[in-house]
Amino acid sequence: MGIPLTWYLTLSAVLFSIGVMGVLFRSNLIVILMSIELMLNAVNITLIAFAQFMGDVSGQILVFFVISVAAAEAAIGLAIVIAIFRNKLTVDVNNIKLFRH
């Protein structure tokens, strides 16, 4: 009984890397935001695994706060997406060139 800690860490590393790949590969703003959520989830797995490994509740409370901040971030990010879409009529990051000359 008992799953090794390294399994959780490896799974978390794989999910985090897939999230990084999503941010770098996709050009749809909403899919990029979803990839960020995936990366936050991967970090949460690590935090919970270490918290249970060390018998400390603080890690779980940190995950609780991460979930709260992720909710706030999703709300603000999606509001920005809506504002950009009303202005540019696109959510493709290749067509959004506010700072490019």
Partner 1 sequence: MFAEIFFIASSLIAVIASLAMLVSRSPVQSALWLILVMLCVAGLYVTLSAEFIAVVQVLVYAGAIMVLFLFVIMLLNLGAVPVADRIDVKKGVGFVLFTVILGQLVYVTSTTSESLSSAVIDHPESGTAIKIAEELFTRYVLPFEIIGILLLVATVGAVILAKRTFE
Q: For the segment 15-74, give every residue that binds partner 1 (CB under 8 A).
A: 15-22, 24-28, 30-31, 33-35, 37-38, 41, 44-45, 48-49, 51-53, 55-58, 60-61, 63-65, 67-74
- Residues whose CB falls within 8 Å of the CB of residue 61, separated by 6 or more in sequence, listed in order: none
- The CA distance from 81 to 18, in Å, is 22
95 is a contact residue toward partner 1 (CB under 8 A) = no
Q: Which of 43, 83, 96, 97 binds partner 1 (CB under 8 A)?
A: 83
Q: Which of 78, 95, 96, 100 binds partner 1 (CB under 8 A)?
A: 78
